[in-house]
């Protein structure tokens, strides 16, 4: 490949296609026509001698060649952007950037309403998109720009990631109002005898409560396991299942809340980003907004 014969704008299209997986969305994002994006894709395919993206039910899926070059393309675009606009600043008031955040439904329900209000006041055209990201894929998605920031437990230790502690969320026991155990103090025997509701996006694996009980040589009976906190709240309202849940959520739900009869390590939340975005102005701005909102809400 002779670089002087390659239009560097093609790599901007490549980056956007890899992220959006849609010619239509890329056209809207880059303010181009769909034929122009299709033409750019055709030229990219000639340059790399590969299809790069193929149509599937889920959209334009990258080929192994695209997967292998996306990191280098994005690093090159980042370096070029820094060189061209080294002194440029992110202007929230004028920006139309779409920030892609990785978080679960608990974080969405607690943070996004307030984050939207805070962002809207100073950046009326900025938009936010939230996704659930599997922990095993999180580092790669931050690296390739599929997401800009990730909120998760501090289980990611990749060297290429930066992170900031956001909050520690202590657990309590929640149950329906009028539950037989709501009348008195909840003992450890009461807790272990009862049946429980557990929330986890993973199909298997022990959570904070299971690890704490395991350390004491104990276990509880989980009668139902679901993947969504707000679904769990509805189930807890209508059954006798006990739900061990972060207090910050339990306090705003129509449930009876009691202290746990044993010690459990709080749920820790960290904000993660790729090191390539460490000094990127828009990333710094959004990280600051999220940290501000987290300090007020959590």
List b or e across 11-33, with b for residues whose CB sees 16 or more CB atoms inside 10 angstroms: bbbbbbbbbbbbbebbbebbebe
Arch. (CATH architecture) of 171-265: 3-Layer(aba) Sandwich (3.40)
3-state secondary structure of 8: coil
CB 175 within 8 A of CB 240: yes
Range list for CATH 3.40.190.10 in the chain: 98-164+269-297, 171-265
Per-position pLDDT tens, the chain of length 298: 555 567 788 899 999 999 899 999 999 888 889 999 999 999 999 989 999 999 998 899 999 999 999 988 888 887 776 655 545 578 999 998 999 999 999 999 999 999 999 999 999 999 999 989 888 888 888 887 889 999 998 877 778 899 999 999 999 999 999 999 999 899 999 999 999 999 988 777 778 899 999 999 999 999 999 999 999 999 999 999 999 999 999 999 999 999 999 999 999 999 999 988 888 899 999 999 999 999 999 9
CATH class of 3-84: mainly alpha
pTM for this model (two decimals): 0.73
State how far the Cα of 259 lies from the Cα of 40, in Å rounded to an integer: 60
If you classify domain 98-164+269-297 with CATH, what class do you get?
A: alpha beta
């Amino acid at each position: 490949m002779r670089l002087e014969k390659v239009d560097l704008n093609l790599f901007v299209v490549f980056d956007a296609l890899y992220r959006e997986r849609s010619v239509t969305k890329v056209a809207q994002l880059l303010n181009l026509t769909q034929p122009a994006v299709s033409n750019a894709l055709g030229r990219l395919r000639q340059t790399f001698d590969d299809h790069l993206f193929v149509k599937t039910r889920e959209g334009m899926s990258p080929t192994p060649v695209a997967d292998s070059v996306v990191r280098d393309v994005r690093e090159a675009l980042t370096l070029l952007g820094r060189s061209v606009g080294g002194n440029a600043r992110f202007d929230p008031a004028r920006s139309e950037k779409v920030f892609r955040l990785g978080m679960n439904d608990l974080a969405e329900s607690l943070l996004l309403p307030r984050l939207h209000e805070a962002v809207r006041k100073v950046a009326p055209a900025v938009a936010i998109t939230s996704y659930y990201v599997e922990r095993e894929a999180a580092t790669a998605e931050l690296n390739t720009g599929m997401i800009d920031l990730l909120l998760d437990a501090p289980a990611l230790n990749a060297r290429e990631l930066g992170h900031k502690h956001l909050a520690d969320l202590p657990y309590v026991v929640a149950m329906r109002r009028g539950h037989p155990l709501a009348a008195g103090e909840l003992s450890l025997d009461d807790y272990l005898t009862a049946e429980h509701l557990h929330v986890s996006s993973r199909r298997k694996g022990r959570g904070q409560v299971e690890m704490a009980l395991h350390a004491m040589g104990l276990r509880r009976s989980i009668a139902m396991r679901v993947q969504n906190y707000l679904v769990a709240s509805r189930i807890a309202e209508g059954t006798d299942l006990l739900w061990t849940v972060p207090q910050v959520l339990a306090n705003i739900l129509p449930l009876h809340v009691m202290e746990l009869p044993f010690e459990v390590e709080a749920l820790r939340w960290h904000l993660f980003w790729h090191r390539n975005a460490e000094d990127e102005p828009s990333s710094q701005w959004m990280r600051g907004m999220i940290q501000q909102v987290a300090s007020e809400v959590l």
